[in-house]
Structure 1
Amino acid sequence: MEIYKQYQKAYCTQKDETFIYFFIDYDFFMMNEKDDYKSIKIEARVTYPVFYKEKQGIQEIWRSNTWIVSANSYSKSCSLHDSIMIVSECRSFGIGSFMLFKLMSMLKEHVPEYSLSAKLSPVDEYEENYKRRDTLYTNMGFTIENKEIFIDKIEHLNFERKFDHIKEIDLSKEFSNLYKEKHILNDRVKDLQNSKNNLNNAWNKLFDENIKLHTIINKHYITIGFLLFCVCVYLYIK
């Protein structure tokens, strides 16, 4: 008997004034044969379409990461074929931990007594990235040794962690609201630009009027000076 499921979930995570909207496509395949043989393959692909900062507005990313886990009853073990990697813009938001939790929860539902091992992925040559990677697995309950992770039984992992900062959402509705807000902000920017242009025009007119006024005053000063000179000459001659 074969079971195949394909579905998508959308989520939002927040840290300070930054929001990340992402969705996960799940492909679940399980095959049961005679002699209780069982084979499972789960593929999860996370896509980050939008990165949003309140002060910077909406940025479209459209990048993704894919992870695959599999299990078979011959060895009663599972393998994580692709270590949890997150695009640099979206790290430290709990997405990697959330994805690992989701994958392990699916395995626990079907093969809780199976073990799991995997090689750790190479990461950037920065100590902070190594710590982030190792913390991801140790918080879940894995042991790390010789650049590999291991757990004797899936059911022994830590499934008590809560992800209150990650909410499942209606992506189309959220996107609609975001882009409405984007258009509102764009309109505000246009209004501010128009106000700036109007102020510049008013300033230029005021500057021109000021020059005209100074020109008229200077002409009057010249006229008055000339008249005073004429009076002085007249009085002198007289």
Structure 2
Amino acid sequence: MEEYEQVPKSQKTEIQTNSVSISTFIVLLFFSILTWILIIGNLLIGCLTNFSCFKFLPSPGYLGCFRGHDRLFIVGCTLYGFILPLFYSSAYTNFRPRLSELKKKMFIFLSICSSISLPILSLSDEVIDVHVLPVSFIYNFSSSTFVVSNLILTVLAYLELRNFYSALNDKEKKWYRFLQVVIFLIFFLVTLDFLQWKYSTSSIRNQILSENGQSVTEWCLVTIGIFLPVIFSLFFRDSNLHFALKSEVVKEDDTFDIELSEVNS
């Protein structure tokens, strides 16, 4: 007699995607805090071990080339090197609709210069006095490139925010006024740092125009600079990072395949 035999369920493979969305502000804040802890922690270790910081406060650049502390300096700069491309890409995405073609090219060029010059700055600072190559020139050029490019980018981003100030909500306007204070403080400290560099060893030297005074100014600039991308990211509306993980899932079909066969009785 003939009998129908049941065949096992067929299997299908499906691609399942699990995604996580994290605010750009949260990511920048986390890595900025971590970078600041590394940099300031390095200074505290130096003050507790190698330096009497009330008499001589090492500047960020000096600590970056001092044996034992240069590694933490490089780690901090490398970590911050991951923050900058994320910040620049987010800022460009948010400001792009309002930027002219010239400003777009300037933004991209300065962003690349800043991202490249930071790791070169940290590496050349480490070997500035122990290498036969013209490392001093490389360090001075990379540090100047990093500072100048970021100052221009800061001004560019600030002016774009000012252009659409009326479109900001009440909370963003409060942050904008705080940003104005921060921008003024940055340019004041940069000017003060230049004067301290110029007159710290001159006849008009005093407590402010001195090596220690210059170190304090530079540490303040480093701290503000680390957290400046976080402040700007407060104006990036709906800016998130999306992480997706794809996996194959084997799924059984709900229907049966029927096969006809002959069974001898």
TM-score (norm 2): 0.23
Of the two structures, which has the highest relative contact order with CA contacts closer than 8 Å and spacing of 6 or more?
A: 2
Give the TM-score, by structure 1 length.
Answer: 0.25
User: Where is the helix percentage greater, Structure 1 or Structure 2?
Assistant: 2
The structure with the largest alpha-carbon Rg is 1
Q: Which structure shows the higher strand fraction?
A: 1
